[in-house]
Amino acid sequence: MRKDLFPILIFMALLVWGCKAKIADNNRTPLLEVEGKFLYQDDVDAIIPPNVNAKDSAEIAESFIKKWITDVLLYENAKRNITNQDEIDQLLEDYKKSLIIHQYQQKMIEERLPKEPGEEEMRAFYEQYRDELDLKENIIKGLLLVVPTKAPKLANVRSWVQSANTSALENIEKYSIRNAISYDYFGDEWKPFGEVLKKMPVQIEDPAAFVARNKFYETSDSTRHYFLRITSFKTIGQTEPYEMAKAKITNLILNKLKADFISNFEDELYHDAINNEMVTYFKQNKSNGD
């Protein structure tokens, strides 16, 4: 325990000196006691971050101790003054039961269900529900190269970006190492067009028309030159590509598998109990109408 904390701890202890002391844990060093609850040295030590100066340590400890005392007093006062203890006990029991059931279900799911569906199953799901997988944003494949306005061989760079074939991409890669401010190649993955636009000094009124009309776009500002090559595009309302929808499909399939598994397990549990006469029904006395 830091020496600079002791004045604070003594002050806090005096606040609760009049409380009737209970027996503390002999294996721990108690700092103070409130309503029979003890705060120990290791409790305070645990919340002090490493490499903190003495002043900050004292402030952190003081705040923690004050909060701890207040919480104990509030809780003990609340227990003495509430009138619906039975209702609270029932809520706690219901929560405990739900938590135990949930943990048990999750354990069975982890043991009995696959971590992810197979590729064939995901493809089948995609084909079946592709009409419901509409894009909510315009997406593109391609590259964005940003270079200084005075970068060398800009004519060559322009030609390479426009063609974007294997040889040109190799040249761009080599060129970008020495000359580029940034080089973002996304020819093998879809990217939201809005994310690409954020890296360029341009405002597009109709992004869907822009990506459909422009395979190559070039612009500049006072310090940088921007080369954009769009090799593929899809616009809002079109079917989301399988590569992008794959994560969503995985979650949908797994969630359905989990729901079906739990439902079937509960049905099986119920019917087994009935068939094995584990459930005892008691006959109810019928009123004679008297």
pLDDT of the residue at 18: 46
Residue given tokens 């006691």 in the structure block: 33
> Considering the chain, what is the average pLDDT of its residues?
90
Q: Is residue 120 part of a domain?
A: yes
Q: Compute the distance between CA of residue 226 and CA of residue 157 in angstroms, rounded to an integer.
A: 11
**Judgement on whether residues 126 and 250 belong to the same structural domain of the protein:** yes
Nearest to 140 by CA among 66, 266, 235, 49: 235
Q: Is residue 125 part of a domain?
A: yes
Same domain, 98 and 48: no
Do 144 and 201 lie in one domain? The reply is: yes
147 and 224 fall within a common domain: yes
> CA–CA separation, 164 vs 113, rounded Å?
44
Closest by Cα among 252, 250, 247, 254 to 113: 254
* Across 38-45, average pLDDT: 93
- 170 and 184 together in one domain: yes
What local confidence, expressed as pLDDT, does residue 13 receive? Answer: 53
- Quote the pLDDT of residue 17: 47
* Number of domains the chain is built from: 3
Q: Average the pLDDT over 239-259 and give the result.
A: 94
Same domain, 187 and 247: no
The residue range of the domain holding 254 is 94-132+242-277
pLDDT tens by residue, 172-228: 999 999 999 999 999 999 999 999 999 999 999 999 999 999 999 999 999 999 999
How do residues 52-88 score in pLDDT, each as one tens digit? 899 999 999 999 999 999 999 999 999 888 888 889 8
Tokens of 116: 């992810």
40 belongs to a structural domain? yes
Helices (H), 113-241: 119-129, 154-163, 166-179, 193-197, 207-213
On whether both 198 and 178 belong to a single domain, the answer is yes
Question: Tokens in use for 200?
Answer: 């360029």
Is residue 282 included in any domain, yes or no?
no
Mean pLDDT of 154-178: 96
Backbone phi and psi for residue 230, each to the nearest 5 degrees, phi listed first: -105, 115
Residues 128 and 140 in one domain: no
Query: Does residue 285 sit within a domain?
Result: no
Q: Residue range 223-239: average pLDDT? A: 96
**Virtual torsion, Cα 106, 112, 114, 120, nearest 10 deg:** -130
In a domain, 287, yes or no: no
Tens digit of each residue's pLDDT (9 = 90 or more) over 8-31: 555 555 554 444 446 888 889 999
Residues 154 and 128 in one domain: no
Share of the chain above pLDDT 90, in %: 78
56 plus 106 within the same structural domain: no
| Domain-terminating residue out of 38, 53, 81 | 81
- Judge if 14 and 75 occupy the same domain: yes
For the chain, the first-to-last Cα distance in angstroms comes to: 78
Cα of 66 vs its chain's centroid, Å: 32
Q: Please say which residue of 234, 261, 285 terminates a domain.
A: 234
Co-location of 52 and 182 in the same domain = no
Indicate if the alpha-carbon torsion angle 234, 237, 243, 247 is positive or negative: positive
Identify any residues that bridge with 145 across adjacent strands, giving them in sequence order. Answer: 183, 227
